[in-house]
Structure formats: structure tokens, C-alpha cells
């Protein structure tokens, strides 16, 4: 029987059970540990012979015997307590160690109670009264007590943590002893630090280098702020250093945060591993700590585990001590100054491969033994070495640690986590089998690794002061995904091209909602932190950084970043630190721009502007440029009612050029800072057109008068190459979104699309495909959908015939020189199959049938996902069952992902319902993949209502599973609701929000606005669009 099956039959392990097990091992027969345990053994019987003594002897010795007994009892008590303290301090902690240092801490409501409950109850009542009295005293002062405040009090600063852990993988528990060296800034008798979901056994406070300790009056948890409070009998003295020692134990949870467990199957046996995920506020679940980014300290970690496992942490192993009972303790080197949420460790049976950078950094990739044996980690390992060398050269700051481990785990809440020296990746974002991985999958793996490695500088080395500026690390890492990939594959033009469709266009959809928020937003308490980790921080942050780099000049920008990292390394920084450093870099080259003044408008205001350029027909060469906030639904209630959209103003670096049928001028930059401005443009002739935001380096949309739009459409039709590929993609995206929001007639974007039959570059096709997608979802359940469908097929048909299908490329190199061509072919095939091209459908069905009949998959790698989805949609239930079987049998993570997504393409509602229900079974679908299943069913017009119904019925389960994990709930809410577009569905959404329980309030507010905008578009613009389409198709 597999280990997991055996464990399912065991009762859950509790702190009480751990204590009892330890007590039995120590021979105390389950009695609470303490001096009376030794007195519980059997005693010899007393006989008459022993008591037949002279009465006078009894009287003579009575007093002295009683005195001797009393002295002996006191000595024994003191001796036992001294020995227990010494054992707790010197020996490695085991589950269920004694609580002799100060007694167990009182647990929060609902938590399991410690041993010796009767004594605790007696003391607990007194402690509760004391706590209430203290809280009343704070209320009289009209202050919150330090443990009730949203941020930790500032009177203490941790300098160093010595953390010793014992991991018990057989029952998924661990015990720990943490010693924290504290510096006292202001006198206080309270020590307040974070601790959550653990059992505190003992606490001791001592002054460094001096004998004796500071007496602990009492301890308690305060669950509302997830803190543990140590109340002392006297105040700690200012500028003194103290040591806080806490012994505790907890569970290795079966979830996705803190110190949690995962598993995999090897040779038919289920194996387990333990791994950490501490960002943003989950280190407190694994050890008591000051769990805020500003509290940087050094860490010395020791991990005790069974010798059949290995342990990893941020630093290399210094020494390993082997015990006779098959256990080993790994002692890791001390870390540099770092924040708690970047600390990490793992206990696993993995194997690894290794490489070394030019500067001597040891890079290892750890994964399942079978994945390492197949070489699935080799690609990631090789590009990691190259990327470390790239970043060291670009930033002129060496990588700061002696090693970097990449850990591939089966279960993880995010794509990856950039723990310093031990980055953790979910398997499908780092393992790659060249024989069955597409270019798209390789690109995904590459960019995740580039992102996480950038964090070793932006995040690990220089950490934002507080979560309001999380974009300072996430925005930079997201921007460098494209810069770093360009270093690896120079011909792919990622930063100049793919950035537009994958970042800029995508985040502007979200930031165009009235319910958006600024990049930098106030964070008061832990519950606010989750909402700052969204695409606004990542993608808008990256887009603003790209805009900044372009108007500063890339070389000056790079120089400024080098200064920023050098000045703030091993410390914390805020946005103003970055602005000041970049302003100084500009001054050094003779430019004077107040970066803070410019960028505060972009980071402290939500949304973005739409620039409108109007030609003044009465005055030669004069144009009118105006700005206003872009919103999709002008009827939506603003997030800040006191501030209307008209009050938004930005300093905009507008680049502009003039063109004609054969030529475009060099760009000029105009800083637009008013609502409306007049500008003179030289060489603006009657047949000339204007183009704004050259290469889409700015974070804004550009609209023109209809005459200029017509001139641009004519230019695209006659000679589109006069306009750069980036601007061709930008025109398509701007036109579709301006029309969707009502700034443009609905026909303009569809007229622009007509030129695509001559477009040979991938990017404009990709922009068109992405822009069409939401429009398609608005129309795919309407009775006239076939009219829209036919129009798109006509635009795609000629390019589909020109490009054809790829040949089977199993024996070719994964990274093909013709990346742009292959991606263009893939994009056109996807559009053709999605909109029903008969030849495309026939080809997909033939390829699937061949696979089923021969049991050999000859489908070209780069279009497998399209073929799988099309085949499942068109063919019978047997094909669905075949794909389902292949999903279970394959061990390649890239293949598993696209097979699972293909199952959501079915037209059979029974199969879709079956898949939805199976998605919540963690043995069938990994936790992190279940959300994708639900979202993909919601994108299927045959399953949208099923997914929406399933979401509402299972909300409590879904919220319990994903509520604490960043992104997951917001991703789920958005994915299930974004294409609801009827009045009835809007009512259902609003009614559900009134009755639901749980978090994600911001996500639901955004969902309501999105659905309201969808309903509004249907009401105002749907018929206008269909009228134009009917007219166009008959011409």
C-alpha cells in the first residue's frame, strides 16, 4: 500500500499527540513532563518489622526527617528544571519537546490546546483577566495595544536568527527552536512578533553575554493580527541586545503556503517532500519572526531530517552531522541581510545536475529523479548560468551568494518563487523535454526563469520597504523577462515587439476599468497585501519602466539602475529612492528632468490617458492634442467619487511622426501636460497622416479624427511597411479598444483588419488575434454570430493558404531560426480553426485520427494544442476519452498541460460537467491546475453557464483552497465572469455577491464593472456592428 493510503487511515496529528509520543519515549508513561514524573514509579511495600522501633526514636528523628525531605524535594525540583532547560537549549529539537522554559503559550480560539490543560485553564483565566485589564488601559490611553496594530511596533529590531528545525516526514510535523538576537530601540516590556498556526512550547528571554534572564510574565497569541506576544516583568533597556528563544512545533500542511508538503509517484510508489512558500506573509507559519520586509536580518539554519532525504536552504551546507538512528542534521552557512519572506528550505528525495558560472557561482537544478535522468532540467540549467552572467554584466553588481539552486516541485501556488539562493518552480514552468515541447512552451519556461533570476537583484538584494511598492521588484522582473530573453535569442525582438501584445495591450484592458487602482497603493494591514499582487503591479509596472527607459535613453537608464542597486544592496528602498537615483543619472549627461514629478503621476494615479490628435483645418501645420482618462464604461461609478475622470492629468512623453504613401519622418517628442494644447507640426501636408506614440513606448492610447484614421487605413492597404511593425500592432489594438469603449465607430477596427492578408509579420497578427478574442466572446452566443464568423474567415483565408501547415518536426532543433515565421503560421492556423475553416478542421481531425489508430503522435509540436482542442470539439466522446487517458499516462509536464486544456474544448455539456467536478479532486488534477480547467470551460460558449453555475455552487470550497494564495482567487473570479454579457447574468452576479462569504471583494467589484460594460456594449453597439458586417459581406 502506498504511503499516502496508509496515512489516510491515521487520525490527524495534534500537538497533544506529539507531546504524548515524546513522553512515552522518555519513559514517563504519558504523564505531563515535570519533576513529579520521576516520583510516579512503584515503591517498595513497608512491613511491620520496619516500623517496630522505639517511640522515642520516632519523636527524635521526626523533625529532622521532615526537614531533610523538604530540602531534598527543593533540590530535586531545581535540578530537574535545570536539566530540562539545558536539554532544550543544547539538544536538537524533537516533536513534542518539553515546555519548561516558560510554559506553553495560550492558544488562539479554535486552536488545539497544549498538554497539562488543567493547569493551563487555571492560569489561562488569570492571564485572560490580565490581558483584558491591559487592553482597557490602552483604551483609556486612546491607543491600540501594540499587538492589535496592523504593523509591528518599531521598538525592537531583529539582528540575527538561529533557527533549528526537525522535519518528521512520516507524520508531516516539524519542531523548531528559534533564537532571535534583538536590538532595543525604545524601552518596552512587550515583545510582539508574528506567529501563526503553531504550538509554542516554551519561551525564554535573556540579555546577551550576561548570566540570568528576563522573567516572562505571560505569553499569548493575538490571531487578528497573527502575532505572538511575550509580556515581560520589566522593560527591555534601550541600546541593549537580548536573545529571544522560542521552542515550538507545527504541521507540514497539505496546502500551498508556509511549510507545506507535496508528492509525486516514482516506480509506483508515492514519495513526499516538504517545501516552503513564505511570500508575502507566510514565514510566520513556519517560525516565529518579524515578518515584514523592513526587518532584514541574517539567518543561520539547521535542518534535522531522516538520512533518506536531503535538505536545501538559501545557503550551502556547511557541515552535516550523522546520527546512529538514521537521522542527519545539515547546518547551513549564514545568510546575508535578508527579509523573512525570501527565506526558504526544502526536504526531499530529489537528485540534481550542476553547472558553474564564470564567476564561480554553483548552479544546481533539483527535480524528481526520473526528470533529471531524462534531461528535462538541462535547458533551464544552461540558460540560468548564462543569465547570471548577463545580469552581473548589465547591473555591474555580482550575484551575492555562492550558489543558486533551482527546485522543480509538483505542487506550488505560483509559477515560481525567487527565494534568494533557492528559487522554487512548479514543474511545468522549468522542466522541458525538447522532443515534445513547442516554441510557445520553451518561451514560457525561458521567461519565467529570466523573471526569477532578475529578482535575485530586484527583490532579494534590494527589497521594497513595504508592499505598496511591490511593483519595484515585480515590474522590473517582468520588464527584464523581455530584455533577458532578447539576450538569449537576439532575433526574437521580445522587448520591442512581443512586450506590446503580452504586457502593454493586456494590462491596458484591466487598467481601463473605473475600478482599477494605482501601481503604488496604500497597504495598511496584512489583508491588504494580497490585492497589490496583480497585473497592475507586474505588467503596468513593467510598461512604465519601459516608457521611462525610452524617454531617458537606455544607456542612461542602465547607468541609473547600476547606481540604485549599488547604493541600496542588502537593504530596502522605496520608489523615491529610484526616482532620485535616475534623476542624478540624467544630470550626469547634461539633462534635467524631475523623474519623481513625472512618474508620481503615473504611479500614484490609477488608469491611463487617451491622447486625441485633431488636425486644425483652418491653420496650417497646427494640431490640437488633448488628454483624458480612458475608461471602457463611462457610466461606471468611479472608485473615488470625489474625483471625477476629468481631474486626471499626466505628463505624457508623446512621440509623433508625419508620414505619406512612401515615407515617414523621424520622430519628435512633445511633453503633453495640459488637458488641451496646440502644437505646430512642420511639413504637415494635406495628404499626410500623423502617427503618435512611435513604437508604442508610451503607456497610453492614441485616437485621431476620422480623416486621419482613413489616411492610416489607406496607408496600411497600399504599403503597410512604411509604418513600423510595432505601430501596425498598436494601431490594431488601439482601434479595437477605442471602438469597444465608444470613442470610435465599430467598423474602423474591422476595416483596418483587411490589410492583414498582406501582412507577413507575426506581431500585427498576434495583436489582431488578441483584440478579436474579447469581441468574439461578446458575440459567440448571439443569433447573428455567423456573420461575424464569416467576416473573420475571409480575412484569414488567403494567409492560411499561403502558409499551410508545419511538417512533423520531432527530429529538428526545438529553437528554430524561423521563430517569427513559425509563430505567424501558428497564429493563422489558430484563427482558422477557431472560426471554422473547413480545411483546418479536416486537417486537425486527420491528425487526431492518425494518432489514435497508430498510437504514435505525429502532430507538429507547435500546433499540438490547437489540434487537440479542435479534435475534441469536432469529434465524438471516444476522442475525449482518448485525450483523458493520455493526460493520465504522460509524464511530460508540457504535454500534460495542453492535454488538460484540450478536454475543456468539448461541445458535450455532460463531459464539461464531468471535468468540472473532477477538477476539485487533487489526485486527478493538481490544485494549481484546477483554476485553469474552470476558466477554460467558462471560455467555451457551450460551457460558460456551466462554469458560472459550478463556481457559485463550489465557492466555499474554492475560496478555502485558494483564498490566501496571491492571484488565484482574482484569476478565478475574473476568468469565470469576464465574458458574461446578458442582463440575467449581471443580476446573478450581483445577487451572488450579496450572499457569498469570503474575500475577493476587489475582484468581484471589478467583475461587476466588466459585466456591466459587456451588457452596455451589447445594448449600444452590437447592432451597429452587425449592420456594417452585413453591408461589407454583400459588397
Residues with catalytic roles: 452
The residues near 603 (Cβ < 8 Å, ≥ 6 apart) are: 471, 518, 519, 520, 544, 575
User: Which segments of 805-876 does DSSP mark as H helices, in order?
Assistant: 819-834, 838-854, 864-874
Residue with grid cell 491622447, as numbered in its chain: 611
The candidate with the shortest Cα–Cα distance to 101, out of 249, 205, 176, 233, is 205
Rounded Cα gap, residues 162 and 300, in angstroms: 5
> Would you call 205 helix, strand, or coil by DSSP?
strand
Compute the distance between CA of residue 288 and CA of residue 233 in angstroms, rounded to an integer: 21
Say whether the peptide bond before residue 280 is cis (omega within 30 degrees of 0): yes
Cβ–Cβ under 8 Å, residues 127 and 218: yes
362-367 and 403-409 as β-strands: parallel, antiparallel, unpaired?
A: parallel
Element (H, E) at 768: helix 762-779
DSSP 3-state helix, strand, coil percentages of the chain (rounded to 5)?
50, 20, 30
Alpha helices in 619-746 (DSSP H): 706-719, 725-740
DSSP at 503: I
Rg of the chain over Cα atoms, rounded to whole angstroms, equals 33
Torsion of CA 834, 835, 840, 842, to 10 degrees: 100
In the beta sheet, which residues pair with residue 183?
Answer: 157, 241
Residue 846 CB partners (closer than 8 Å, separation 6+): none
Say which residues have a Cβ less than 8 Å from residue 144's Cβ, sequence separation at least 6: 138
| 777 torsion bin: left (phi>0), alpha (psi -120 to 50), beta (else) | alpha
Buried b (16+ CB within 10 A) or exposed e, 725-762: bbbbbbbbbbbbbbbbbbbbbbbbbbbbbebbeebebb
The residue written with cell numbers 527546485 in the block is 407
Spatial CA neighbour of 473 closest among 383, 342, 295: 342
Amino acid at each position: 500500500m502506498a504511503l499516502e493510503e496508509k496515512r489516510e487511515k491515521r487520525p490527524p496529528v495534534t500537538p497533544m499527540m506529539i507531546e504524548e509520543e515524546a513522553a512515552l519515549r522518555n519513559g514517563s508513561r504519558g504523564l505531563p513532563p515535570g519533576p513529579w514524573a520521576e516520583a510516579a514509579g512503584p515503591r517498595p511495600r513497608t512491613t511491620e518489622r520496619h516500623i517496630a522501633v522505639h517511640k522515642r526514636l520516632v519523636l527524635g528523628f521526626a523533625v529532622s526527617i521532615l526537614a531533610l525531605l523538604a530540602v531534598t524535594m527543593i533540590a530535586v525540583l531545581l535540578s530537574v528544571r535545570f536539566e530540562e532547560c539545558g536539554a532544550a537549549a543544547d539538544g536538537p529539537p524533537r516533536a513534542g519537546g518539553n515546555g519548561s522554559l516558560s510554559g506553553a503559550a495560550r492558544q488562539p480560539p479554535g486552536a488545539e490546546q497544549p498538554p497539562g490543560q488543567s493547569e493551563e485553564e487555571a492560569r489561562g483565566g488569570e492571564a485572560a483577566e490580565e490581558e483584558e485589564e491591559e487592553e482597557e488601559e490602552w483604551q483609556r490611553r486612546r491607543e491600540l495595544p501594540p499587538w492589535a496594530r496592523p504593523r509591528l511596533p518599531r521598538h525592537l529590531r531583529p539582528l540575527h536568527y538561529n533557527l533549528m528545525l526537525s522535519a518528521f516526514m512520516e507524520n508531516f510535523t516539524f519542531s523548531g527552536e528559534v533564537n532571535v538576537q534583538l536590538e532595543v530601540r525604545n524601552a518596552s516590556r512587550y515583545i510582539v512578533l508574528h506567529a501563526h498556526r503553531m504550538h509554542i512550547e516554551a519561551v525564554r528571554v535573556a540579555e546577551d553575554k550576561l548570566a540570568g534572564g528576563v522573567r516572562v510574565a505571560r505569553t499569548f497569541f493575538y490571531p487578528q493580527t497573527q502575532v505572538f506576544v511575550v509580556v515581560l516583568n520589566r522593560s527591555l533597556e534601550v541600546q541593549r541586545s537580548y536573545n529571544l528563544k522560542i521552542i515550538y512545533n507545527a504541521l507540514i500542511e497539505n496546502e500551498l503556503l508556509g511549510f507545506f508538503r507535496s508528492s509525486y509517484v516514482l516506480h509506483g510508489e508515492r514519495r513526499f517532500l516538504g517545501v516552503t512558500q513564505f511570500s508575502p506573509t507566510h514565514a510566520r507559519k513556519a517560525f516565529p519572526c518579524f515578518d515584514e520586509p523592513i526587518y532584514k536580518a541574517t539567518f543561520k539554519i539547521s535542518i534535522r531530517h531522516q538520512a533518506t532525504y536531503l535538505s536545501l536552504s538559501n545557503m550551502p551546507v556547511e557541515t552535516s552531522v550523522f546520527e546512529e538512528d538514521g537521522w542527519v542534521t545539515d547546518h547551513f552557512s549564514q545568510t546575508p541581510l535578508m527579509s523573512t519572506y525570501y527565506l526558504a528550505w526544502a526536504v526531499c528525495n530529489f537528485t540534481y545536475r550542476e553547472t558553474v558560472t564564470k564567476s564561480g557561482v554553483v548552479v544546481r537544478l533539483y527535480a524528481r529523479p526520473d526528470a533529471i535522468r531524462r534531461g528535462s532540467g538541462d535547458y533551464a540549467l544552461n540558460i540560468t548560468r548564462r543569465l547570471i552572467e548577463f545580469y552581473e554584466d548589465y547591473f555591474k553588481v555580482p550575484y551575492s551568494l555562492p550558489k543558486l539552486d533551482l527546485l522543480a516541485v509538483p505542487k506550488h501556488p505560483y509559477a515560481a518563487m525567487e527565494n534568494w539562493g533557492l528559487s522554487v518552480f512548479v514543474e511545468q514552468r522549468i522542466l522541458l523535454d525538447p522532443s515534445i515541447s513547442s516554441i510557445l512552451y520553451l518561451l514560457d519556461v525561458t521567461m519565467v526563469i529570466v523573471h526569477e533570476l532578475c529578482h535575485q537583484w530586484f527583490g532579494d538584494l534590494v527589497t521594497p520597504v513595504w508592499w505598496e511598492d511591490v511593483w519595484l521588484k515585480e515590474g522590473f522582473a517582468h520588464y527584464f523577462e523581455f530584455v533577458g530573453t532578447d539576450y538569449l535569442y537576439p532575433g526574437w525582438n521580445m522587448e520591442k515587439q512581443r512586450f506590446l501584445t503580452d504586457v502593454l495591450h493586456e494590462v491596458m484592458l484591466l487598467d481601463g476599468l473605473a475600478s482599477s487602482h494605482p501601481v503604488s497603493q496604500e497597504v495598511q494591514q496584512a489583508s491588504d497585501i494580497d490585492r497589490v499582487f496583480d497585473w497592475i503591479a507586474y505588467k503596468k509596472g513593467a510598461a512604465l519602466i519601459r516608457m521611462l527607459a525610452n524617454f531617458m535613453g537606455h544607456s542612461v537608464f542602465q547607468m541609473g539602475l547600476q547606481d540604485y542597486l549599488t547604493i541600496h544592496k542588502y537593504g530596502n528602498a522605496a520608489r523615491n529612492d529610484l526616482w532620485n537615483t535616475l534623476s542624478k543619472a540624467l544630470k550626469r549627461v547634461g539633462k534635467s528632468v524631475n523623474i519623481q514629478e513625472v512618474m508620481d503621476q503615473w504611479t500614484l494615479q490609477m488608469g491611463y490617458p487617451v491622447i486625441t490628435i485633431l488636425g486644425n483645418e483652418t491653420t496650417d501645420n497646427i494640431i490640437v492634442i488633448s488628454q483624458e482618462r480612458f475608461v471602457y464604461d463611462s457610466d461606471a461609478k468611479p472608485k473615488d467619487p470625489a474625483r471625477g475622470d476629468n481631474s486626471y492629468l499626466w505628463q505624457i512623453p508623446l512621440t509623433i511622426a508625419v508620414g505619406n504613401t512612401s515615407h515617414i519622418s523621424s520622430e519628435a517628442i512633445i511633453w503633453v501636460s495640459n488637458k488641451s494644447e496646440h502644437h505646430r507640426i512642420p511639413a504637415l501636408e494635406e495628404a499626410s497622416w500623423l502617427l503618435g506614440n512611435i513604437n508604442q513606448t508610451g503607456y497610453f492610447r492614441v485616437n485621431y479624427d476620422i480623416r486621419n484614421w482613413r489616411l492610416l487605413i489607406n496607408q496600411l492597404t497600399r504599403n503597410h511597411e512604411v509604418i513600423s511593425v510595432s505601430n501596425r500592432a498598436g494601431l490594431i489594438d488601439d482601434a479595437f479598444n477605442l471602438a469597444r469603449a465608444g470613442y470610435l465607430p465599430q467598423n474602423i477596427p474591422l476595416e483596418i483588419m483587411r490589410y492583414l492578408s498582406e501582412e507577413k509579420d507575426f506581431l500585427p497578427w498576434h495583436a489582431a488575434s488578441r483584440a478579436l478574442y474579447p469581441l468574439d466572446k461578446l458575440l459567440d452566443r448571439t443569433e447573428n454570430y455567423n456573420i461575424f464568423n464569416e467576416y473573420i474567415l475571409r480575412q484569414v483565408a488567403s494567409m492560411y493558404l499561403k502558409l499551410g501547415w508545419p511538417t512533423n518536426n520531432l527530429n529538428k532543433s526545438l529553437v528554430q531560426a524561423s521563430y517569427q515565421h513559425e509563430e505567424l503560421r501558428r497564429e493563422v492556423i489558430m484563427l482558422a480553426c477557431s472560426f471554422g475553416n473547413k480545411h483546418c478542421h479536416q486537417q486537425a481531425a486527420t491528425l487526431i485520427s492518425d494518432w489514435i489508430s497508430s498510437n504514435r503522435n505525429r502532430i507538429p509540436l507547435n500546433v499540438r494544442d490547437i489540434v487537440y482542442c479542435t479534435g475534441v470539439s469536432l469529434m465524438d466522446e471516444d476522442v475525449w476519452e482518448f485525450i483523458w487517458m493520455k493526460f493520465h499516462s504522460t509524464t511530460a509536464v508540457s504535454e500534460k498541460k495542453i492535454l488538460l486544456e484540450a478536454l475543456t474544448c468539448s461541445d458535450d455539456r455532460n463531459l464539461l460537467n464531468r471535468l468540472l467536478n473532477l477538477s476539485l479532486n487533487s489526485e486527478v488534477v493538481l490544485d494549481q491546475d484546477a483554476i485553469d480547467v474552470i476558466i477554460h470551460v467558462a471560455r467555451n460558449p457551450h460551457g460558460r453557464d456551466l462554469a458560472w453555475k459550478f463556481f457559485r455552487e463550489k465557492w466555499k470550497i474554492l475560496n478555502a483552497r485558494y483564498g490566501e494564495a496571491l492571484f488565484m482567487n482574482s484569476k478565478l473570479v475574473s476568468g469565470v465572469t469576464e465574458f458574461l454579457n446578458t442582463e440575467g447574468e449581471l443580476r446573478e452576479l450581483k445577487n451572488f455577491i450579496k450572499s457569498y462569504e469570503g474575500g475577493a471583494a476587489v475582484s468581484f467589484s471589478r467583475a461587476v464593472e466588466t459585466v456591466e460594460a459587456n451588457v452596455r456594449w451589447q445594448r449600444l453597439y452590437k447592432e451597429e456592428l452587425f449592420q456594417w458586417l452585413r453591408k461589407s459581406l454583400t459588397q
